[in-house]
Homo-oligomer: A and B are copies of this chain.
Amino acid sequence: MSSADSNTPASNANRDHDHDHGKCVAEALASAERVCEAQGARLTPQRRQVLELIWRSHVPVGAYEILDAMRDGGRRADPPTVYRALEFLAGLGLIHRISTRNAFIGCSHPMSEHRAQVLLCDGCGQATEIEIGTIAQGLTDGAADLGFAIADQTVEASGLCRSCQSTAH
């Protein structure tokens, strides 16, 4: 993964409402397989299905929505099944938990180490992952000034995306 960079995960930040989502999904699944292989982890059919269900859209999806979708698909499932898969996927950085929504989104660029920073649209519900280095660094530095050592960061903002601003009238 150090040679060609034909995929441009950062382009997700500029994603429009009518983008080629099939590409998002394909890239996400390909990345997932690479990450799992690299980590010696197993992307079982069940885990893969949960990842696919999360990637059905860019709208954060709750654990029980996933559960319902799995049942709709004929598969027997219970909460622990879903939460285990979510824990596995989050552990590998393949998904992010959105704390303010109790929901999950697929990570747009799971191959690179990063802190999740997310924009949440109150109009369409879509989440957009961004990566503003100065925020992560500013937070780390600001905390360090107080003697606080940051281990993990959560940065979530809500508002209106470009499309939903033009729609609102």
Q: Which single residue of chain B is at the shortest CB-CB distance from A162?
A: B147
B160, A151: Cβ atoms under 8 Å? Answer: yes
Is A159 close to B, CB under 8 A?
yes
Contact in complex: A130, B149 (CB < 8 Å): no
Minimal beta-carbon separation of A84 from chain B (angstroms):
20
Q: How large is the interface on A (under 10, 10 to 19, 20 to 34, 35 or more residues)?
A: 35 or more
> Quick check: is A1 within 8 A (CB to CB) of the other chain?
no
Cross-chain contact A156 with B159 (CB below 8 angstroms) = no
Is the C-beta of A135 less than 8 angstroms from some C-beta in chain B? yes
Check if B154 sits within 8 Å of A159, measured CB to CB.
Answer: no
**Known contacts A154-B155, A154-B156, A157-B139: A146-B132 contact under CB 8 Å:** no
Interface pair B148/A139, CB less than 8 Å apart: no
**Chain A 133-150 near chain B by CB (<8 Å), digits 1 or 0:** 011001100110011111
